[in-house]
């Protein structure tokens, strides 16, 4: 019971992080039908920028642990959003009219560049987040121990996901994003500025990925320039699991994948932990490519 509870809460916290990254994949895919391979590296950049801001501005000393971390997250989100918009402008916009696979290669190239740029700037070794960032409090729930940081990570990701969901569902801009995802041409005819929608998607997605990077730094304490592709692939799996292009799907997929992975590591084999996500990915694509919440789209010949 104790182990099950620990794995469940751990899985949910990690799953929340997957979900935040997955949202970036799914939003870009929804509008551009492109797998943004560089998205995982935006997440890495978020983690590294967060660390730099933390050490250079000593935010937590000035604002206290809670508001310090919030300010840090907000700044990392803003900066990564800028990188995301720049990425779209340089690597994807010139290829809007090209064959899809050209954009895929460009995305791969951008991913290789970004992760290696991080390596060149920060070095190839692991970097460590300060351990005293958040108070080490453990909550006691009927005899079950629950670290506060887990609760905060899960809560923060749930708050952001809900905010995004409401933004997409309830606002005019959100409606424009949904319309562009369904049919770009029609959206354009209805007077929607599709270029702005794409830009917006490349601001929101990377912002969420960036904050996920900070969360991983805080949760695990160490970061590395290659972590973007592992997390990226897992988050992509989460997006596929929920149904790519589908925002609630990414959230459900992320949380589900986090829990499955934690349980698999605990009850099956920890050595195979990283293979679990890939097996799920392959199985889903073979058996039900539309994911759990996706809709089937007929192809016109």
Partner 1 sequence: MMDRTKYLYLAGTVVLAAAPAVLNTYWVDVLNNVGMYAILGLSLNLIVGHAGLFNLGHAAFYAIGAYTAAILNSHFHIPVLWLLPLSALTAGLFALMIARPIIHLRGDYLCIVTIGVGEIVRIALINNVFGITGGANGIFGIDRPQIFGWVIRRPQEFYYLIWLFLMVTVFLFQRLENSRFGRALNYLREDETAAEGSGIHTAHYKLMAFVIGAAWAGMVGNIFAAKMTIISPESFSFWESVLMFTLVILGGSGSIPGVLLGALLIIGLPELFRGFANARMAIFGVAMVAMMIFRTGGILPARPRTYRLPQPAAAVEAKP
CB of 260 to partner 1, least distance (A): 15
Burial per residue of 59-91, b for 16 or more beta-carbon CB atoms within 10 angstroms, e otherwise: bbeeeeeeebbebbbebbbebbbebbbebbeeb
3-state SS string for 211-280: HHHHHHHHHHCEECCCHHHHHHHHHHHHHHHHCCCCHHHHHHHHHHHHHHHHHHHHHCCCCCHHHHHHHH
Q: Is residue 78 left, alpha or beta, with left meaning phi > 0 and alpha meaning psi from -120 to 50?
A: alpha
Q: Is 112 in the site for partner 1 (CB under 8 A)?
A: yes
The token pair at 262 is 């934690």
Q: Is 271 in the site for partner 1 (CB under 8 A)?
A: yes
Rg, Å, the chain Cα set: 19
Of 73 and 239, nearer to partner 1 (C-beta) is: 239
Of 166 and 275, nearer to partner 1 (C-beta) is: 275
Select from 43, 219, 231, 236 the one that contacts partner 1 (CB under 8 A).
Answer: 236
The interface mask with partner 1, positions 14-53, x = CB under 8 A, is: --------------------xx------------------
The interface mask with partner 1, positions 212-231, x = CB under 8 A, is: -----------------x--
- Provide the 8-state DSSP code for 93: G
CB of 62 to partner 1, least distance (A): 35
Residue 127 backbone dihedrals phi, psi, to 5 degrees: -110, 150
Q: Is 102 in the site for partner 1 (CB under 8 A)?
A: yes
Select from 103, 152, 197, 223 the one that contacts partner 1 (CB under 8 A).
Answer: 103
Q: Is 297 in the site for partner 1 (CB under 8 A)?
A: no
Rounded-to-integer distance, Cα 183 and Cα 297, Å: 13
Q: Is 278 in the site for partner 1 (CB under 8 A)?
A: yes
Interstrand relation of 138-141 and 144-147 (parallel, antiparallel or unpaired) = antiparallel
Q: Is 105 in the site for partner 1 (CB under 8 A)?
A: yes
CB of 273 to partner 1, least distance (A): 9
Q: Is 71 in the site for partner 1 (CB under 8 A)?
A: no
Select from 57, 82, 117, 292 the one that contacts partner 1 (CB under 8 A).
Answer: 117
Of 151 and 263, nearer to partner 1 (C-beta) is: 263
Burial per residue of 212-229, b for 16 or more beta-carbon CB atoms within 10 angstroms, e otherwise: bbbbbbbbeeebbbebbb
CB of 109 to partner 1, least distance (A): 3
Binding span for partner 1 by CB under 8 A among 98-106, 144-152, 176-184, 193-201: 98-106
Rounded-to-integer distance, Cα 69 and Cα 76, Å: 10
Other CB atoms within a 10 A radius of the CB of residue 169 amount to 12
Rounded-to-integer distance, Cα 3 and Cα 213, Å: 27
Q: Is 85 in the site for partner 1 (CB under 8 A)?
A: no
Other CB atoms within a 10 A radius of the CB of residue 290 amount to 17
Residues lying near partner 1 in the complex (CB under 8 A) are found at: 34-35, 90-91, 94-95, 98, 100-106, 108-114, 116-117, 119-120, 229, 233, 236, 269, 271-272, 274-275, 278-279, 281-282, 285-286, 289, 301
């Amino acid at each position: 019971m104790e182990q099950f509870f620990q794995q469940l809460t751990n899985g949910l916290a990690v799953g929340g992080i997957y979900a935040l990254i997955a949202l970036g994949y799914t939003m870009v895919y929804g509008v551009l039908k492109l797998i943004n391979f560089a998205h995982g590296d935006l997440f890495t950049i978020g983690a590294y920028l967060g660390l730099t801001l933390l050490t250079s501005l000593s935010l937590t000393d000035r604002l206290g642990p809670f508001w310090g971390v919030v300010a840090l997250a907000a700044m990392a989100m803003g900066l990564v959003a800028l990188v995301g918009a720049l990425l779209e402008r340089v690597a994807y916009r010139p290829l809007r009219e090209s064959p899809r696979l050209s954009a895929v290669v460009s995305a791969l190239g951008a991913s290789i560049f970004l992760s290696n740029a991080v390596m060149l700037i920060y070095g190839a070794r692991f970097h460590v987040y300060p351990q005293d960032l958040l108070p080490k409090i453990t909550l006691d729930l009927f005899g079950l121990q629950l670290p506060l940081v887990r609760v905060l990570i899960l809560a923060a990701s749930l708050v952001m996901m809900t905010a995004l969901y409401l933004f997409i569902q309830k606002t005019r801009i959100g409606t424009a994003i949904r319309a562009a995802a369904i049919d770009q041409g029609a959206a354009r005819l209805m007077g929607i500025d599709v270029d702005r929608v794409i830009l917006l998607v490349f601001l929101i997605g990377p912002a969420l990925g960036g904050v996920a990077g900070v969360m991983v730094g805080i949760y695990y304490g160490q970061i590395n320039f290659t972590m973007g592709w592992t997390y990226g692939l897992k988050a992509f799996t989460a997006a596929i699991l929920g149904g790519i292009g589908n925002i609630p799907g990414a959230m459900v997929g992320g949380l589900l994948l986090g829990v499955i992975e934690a349980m698999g590591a605990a009850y099956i084999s920890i050595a195979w932990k990283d293979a679990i996500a890939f097996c799920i990915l392959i199985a889903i694509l073979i058996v039900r490519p539309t994911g759990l919440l996706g809709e089937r789209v007929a192809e016109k010949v």
